[in-house]
């Protein structure tokens, strides 16, 4: 069975079946978080270092749940506003979580939580030299994407739209350009996904995966929404691999109308 049939894929030197990455924040309760992550089928979960405070019983309980899920942990540098701060957080996360993976977030604007392109590139370059596998959160800017690749990034995580906005893909043409420019890179849409249809649209563009959090955690029934996203990501990937039909300017009948209708032969 080939990869297209069993949907396995590789990222950061590891192989997975699910192309959905899921966050661990904002859930109504730890139990709902656990059930939602399980329902999503995700095999990678993002975790903020601040959730693992020393001596914090709540943090201990949270970490025990994450470990019990037996899935890959992707620590993030959420809340950092400079390269220096992000690098320090990443180094601490490597010690706490025992992984060289890091989701790099360096926020440059508090209003729309847009990443700072200059500080992100600076941090990525230093972290890669320090042995990290960097998953950089960035905008859909092709020039910034190129700078991150030049810094050594093998993975890019452009936003669909602003974090937590649920607006979906603001600039599909920009995202398509990034996909076409970097055909061999692992590309994951991170932020702005609000509905399963948004995830399907992103996967149909050829993106390798989707990372989301708020769309599941803030749903009225997070467990059901997690399942919905599981299937939407799978559907989008299958559609991309199958090759969608080209759009047409005019109607084209799906049923042939040339010749004698087949039922005439039975008269």
Q: Which residues are catalytic?
A: 103
Q: Which of 92, 151, 88 is nearest to 118 (CA)?
A: 151
Gap between the Cα atoms of 219 and 225, Å rounded: 7
Gap between the Cα atoms of 126 and 72, Å rounded: 24
Are 204 and 236 in contact by the 8 Å Cβ rule? The answer is yes
Any long-range contacts for 230-235 (C-beta under 8 Å, 24+ apart)? Answer: 230/18, 230/20, 230/39, 230/40, 230/41, 230/42, 231/196, 232/196, 232/197, 232/199, 232/200, 232/203, 233/18, 233/19, 233/20, 233/199, 233/200, 233/203, 233/209, 234/7, 234/19, 235/200, 235/203
Are 159 and 191 in contact by the 8 Å Cβ rule? The answer is yes
Residue 251 DSSP code = -
Q: Is the dihedral of CA 21, 79, 163, 186 positive or negative?
A: negative
Question: Which residues have CB under 8 Å from 10's CB, separation 6+?
Answer: 16
């Amino acid at each position: 069975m080939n990869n297209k049939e069993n949907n396995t894929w590789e990222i950061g030197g590891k192989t997975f079946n699910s192309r959905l990455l899921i966050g661990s924040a904002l859930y109504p309760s730890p139990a709902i978080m656990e059930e939602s992550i399980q329902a999503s089928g995700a095999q990678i979960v993002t975790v903020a270092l601040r959730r693992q405070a020393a001596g914090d019983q709540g943090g201990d309980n949270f970490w025990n749940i994450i470990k019990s899920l037996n899935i890959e942990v992707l620590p993030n540098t959420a809340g950092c506003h400079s390269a220096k701060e992000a690098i320090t957080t990443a180094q601490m996360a490597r010690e706490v979580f025992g992984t060289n993976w890091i989701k790099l977030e360096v926020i440059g604007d508090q209003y729309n939580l847009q990443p700072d392109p200059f500080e992100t590139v600076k941090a990525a370059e230093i972290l890669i030299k320090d042995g990290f596998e960097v998953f950089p959160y960035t905008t859909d800017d092709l020039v910034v994407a190129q700078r991150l690749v030049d810094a050594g990034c093998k993975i890019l995580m452009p936003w669909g739209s602003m974090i937590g906005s649920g607006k979906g893909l603001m600039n599909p043409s920009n995202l398509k350009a990034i996909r076409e420019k970097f055909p061999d890179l692992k590309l994951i849409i991170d932020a702005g996904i609000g509905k399963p249809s948004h995830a399907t649209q992103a996967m149909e563009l050829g993106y390798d995966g989707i990372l989301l959090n708020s769309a599941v955690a803030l749903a009225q029934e997070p467990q059901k929404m997690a399942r919905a996203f599981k299937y939407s990501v799978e559907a989008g990937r299958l559609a991309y691999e199958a090759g969608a039909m080209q759009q047409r300017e005019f109607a084209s009948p799906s049923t042939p109308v040339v010749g004698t209708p087949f039922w005439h032969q039975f008269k």
